[in-house]
Copies of this chain bind each other. A is one copy, B any other.
Amino acid sequence: MITISKENYLKSIYTLAKGNGNFVSLTELSKELNVTKSAVTEMSKKLYEQGCVKYVRYKGIKILPKGKKIALKVIRKHRLWELFLVETLNLSWDKVHLEAEKLEHFTSDFLIDTIDEYLKYPKLDPHGEPIPCKDGSYRYKINDIPMSECILGKTYKVTRVNDREEELVRYLSKIDIQLNREIKIIEKLKFDNSVIIEVNGVKHSLSSKLVDNIFLTKANG
């Protein structure tokens, strides 16, 4: 039986491995899911028994095709819900993550396919994350870099933000950053890894944590 808890574990394993299918450490997982390491060990064994993951004691956990399929299905539901709520109800992009986090587990395949069709098979969710297709493939390939890796003085376009950090998204709205907004990298401070950027002529200092969760693409021209 794939429970809601298992869906969440698989989603986190897939996400933390960044789609590479790498091993994920159990400590990392426990932090992501806000549970103890022992809870993760226990669940790892169950997911292994169900053929969803490869689990090597003292090493970590790695997603397998069966688990990946489940993870992508949940991610698909999450991102389509986010976009649907923004599109139909005009919810702001900082409010949809938490709602989608719950709805994703209680939506039939039929309903999510209907939503997909209604939205005309969109490629990206409101935070710039690609939406998996019904068959588990992506309609869009990510091609951006975290702000921390950007080059000084250049101008970029914001193409993706981490929706799991509600406060981050809310703060970005506040300083008038949204998807496709052009920003310029003014300064990168080595000592705390913060970055100073310019948006619409206004300068802002972004902490290291913010900088790791904002993804950019080179602006055309």
Contact = CB atoms under 8 A, between A and B. Distances in A.
A88 B114 CA distance: 10
Nearest to A117: B89
Count this chain's copies in the assembly.
Answer: 2
Interface stretch (A105-113, A131-139, A171-179, A204-212): A105-113
A142 interface: no
A99 interface: yes
A114 B91 contact: yes
Contacts of A107: 99, 102-103
B91 A102 contact: no
Contacts of A111: 85, 89, 91, 99
A103 B99 CA distance: 11
A191 interface: no
A58 interface: no
16 contacts: A85-B111, A88-B88, A88-B118, A89-B111, A89-B114, A91-B111, A91-B114, A95-B110, A98-B108, A99-B111, A102-B106, A102-B107, A103-B103, A103-B106, A103-B107, A106-B106
Interface of A: 85, 88-89, 91, 95, 98-99, 102-103, 105-108, 110-111, 114-115, 118
